[in-house]
Structure 1
Amino acid sequence: MNRDEIAARIPHQGDMCLLDTVVAWSTDHIECRATGHTDPAHPLRAQGRLGAANGIEYAAQAMAVHGALVAGAEGAPRQGYLTSVRGVSLHVDRLDDQEGPLCVRAERLSGDANQVLYRFSLHHGERCLLEGRAAVVLDADLLEPRTSS
């Protein structure tokens, strides 16, 4: 799956679509490749650098593509929201000094049609740059509000 096919399945468009290809996927995982992290015009770059925490956005986009592929979404993408990220470990300070492609992985740990828990990681070659877990809520505006007792 190429960048245009990815962009057709996620809400991130134009320069904000950070993934170039889907390398492999199944119902419980996805692996993507990204190469734009060294671009001086990267949309998340600040003060002349792309900090490692921006890798969470790469992972979020991989999760969004995964959700669309699993759901068989051919039309408009479902709106998803990261509700929490936990256990995040940054093993580098920045991403833009990593020459060559990044590998973005996400594994679905649990969930249902509206809430999903993923484990994610970003690698450069064999080196893990960051890793963590993320909770995602899909179509949050469709969820029934909780009432307090």
Structure 2
Amino acid sequence: MCLLDGVLGWDESAIRCVSGTHARADNPLRAQGRLAALCGIEYAAQAMAVHGALLAQGSQTQRPRSGYLASVRKLELQVARLDDIDAPLEIDAQRISGEGASVLYAFTISAAGRPLLSGRAAVILDAALPDSHAG
């Protein structure tokens, strides 16, 4: 599932993406015809993943790393829903820190200059998940 439509800009510490998928009736995150503002966390997580891939692409020695969203903190919702927002979503993610196996990002999602939600997300990189098919 790819919710982002494109990257507006990025550098070593931040990325800005855009999306209009919040308004689509076939958005896979919709429930009962609505897209809750909490789903914005997935938009932010996808922006963080793209940022990691772009950083790895510029490195001769680093490959893209898989990541798992470990926690979301300081979440502030200014709206209840995203599907009734008429303008494209702008997803900003700023890398606050990142050493070894974890990365911390601050994120903001806005539309037409109006903040919709914001928070911080911790991502664990290359974590080994238990094999659900094992013995």
Same fold (TM over 0.5): yes
Partner of 2:39: 54
Gaps of 5+ in 2: 130-135
Which of 24, 33, 36 is the equivalent residue of 2:9?
Answer: 24
Which of 28, 48, 58 is the equivalent residue of 1:63?
Answer: 48
Report the TM-score, using the length of structure 1 for normalisation.
Answer: 0.80
The structure whose residues are more often helix, as a share, is 1
Amino acid at match of 1:85: V
Q: Residue 77 of structure 1: CA displacement?
A: 4.8
SS at the partner of 1:60? Answer: helix
Report the TM-score, using the length of structure 2 for normalisation.
Answer: 0.88
Q: Residue 48 of structure 1: CA displacement?
A: 1.1
The whole-number CA distance in structure 2 between the counterparts of 1:113 and 1:25 is 21
How many residues are paired up?
A: 126
Q: Residue 113 of structure 1: CA displacement?
A: 3.7
Gaps of 5+ in 1: 1-15, 143-149
Amino acid at match of 1:132: G
Q: Residues 56 and 64 of structure 2 are in contact (CA less than 8 Å); yes or no, is this contact kept in structure 1?
A: no
Partner of 2:78: 91
Partner of 1:38: 23
Point out 4+ residue stretches in structure 1 off by more than 2 angstroms.
Answer: none
